Chains A and B, each alone.
Chain A
Amino acid sequence: QSALTQPASVSGSPGQSITIPCSGTSSDVGNFNYVSWYQQHPGKAPNLIIYGVTNRPSGVSNRFSGSKSGNTASLTISGLQAEDEADYYCGSYFASTALSVFGTGTKVTVL
């Protein structure tokens, strides 16, 4: 399986909304709702912020939301805050092979 494709960087001003796309294929993102999103601050382990395309784990801010259209999943951060500056990775699971894959990662900068 190949890594899912994400833009290298996305930026926005405080209070704005930004969207990070995660492009896959019909073998992963397109036909299954097995997309998750992870936030990683420098020097820290990744932290799960979205699972099953749209669901937030307990304790994750509702400013984070997920969606999917066709073979592309997206993470939207609304009301951008300085603490949101981090790297974000999408992930998916291949049910047919039980393999996992991550996206190429996106660095979010708060201007």
Chain B
Amino acid sequence: QLQLQESGPGLVKSSETLSLTCSVSGGSISSNSRYWGWIRQAPGKGLEWIASVFFSGNTHYSPSLRGRVTMSVDTSKNQFSLRVTSVTAADTAVYYCARRSTYCNRDTCFDFDIWGQGTTVTVSS
């Protein structure tokens, strides 16, 4: 059964760069039918989609964060990563990685069907 696990520093200083990694186990990241994404949730707030990446490296970013975020994939390690530059207190959140389908049929439809447990990131001044 495929599982996702986020890892990264729990504390980042304001104006620095946040780096997170999602490790995929129980399946290959090199799937033609899946994108891999990052979603975050600020304290007491809703879900915010950040970005998604295909195993080939093709990426899509939220317009609200484009310019500060970069996603990458390492197929040899079965991992994908997120970098957020110039962080502020507004980037304090629980960051989730998740799997999304690339098509729509009776079994799936561009939904995020598998999620990691989340990792908490606090930006300090």
Q: Which residues of A come within 8 Å of B, CB atoms?
A: 1, 3, 33-34, 36, 38, 40, 45-48, 51-53, 55, 57, 89, 91, 93, 95, 97-105
Q: Which A residues are in CB contact (< 8 Å) with B49?
A: 91, 99-102
Q: Which residues of B come within 8 Å of A, CB atoms?
A: 37, 39, 46-49, 52, 60, 62-63, 96, 100, 104, 106, 108-113, 115-118
Given contacts A48-B111, A97-B60, A101-B49, 7 further A-B contacts (CB under 8 A): A45-B117, A46-B39, A46-B112, A48-B112, A57-B113, A100-B112, A105-B47
Q: Who on chain A is nearest to B100 by CB?
A: A100
Asked whether B60 lies within 8 Å of A98 as measured between CB atoms, the reply is yes
Asked whether A52 lies within 8 Å of B109 as measured between CB atoms, the reply is yes
CB of B11 to closest CB in A, whole Å: 19
Q: Who on chain A is nearest to B96 by CB?
A: A45
Closest 10 CB pairs of A and B: A52-B109, A93-B110, A36-B111, A105-B46, A51-B111, A102-B47, A45-B115, A100-B49, A98-B60, A51-B109
Q: Which B residues are in CB contact (< 8 Å) with A3?
A: 46
Most buried by B among A34, A53, A99: A99
A100–B111 CA distance with the chains assembled, in angstroms = 9
Asked whether A45 lies within 8 Å of B46 as measured between CB atoms, the reply is no
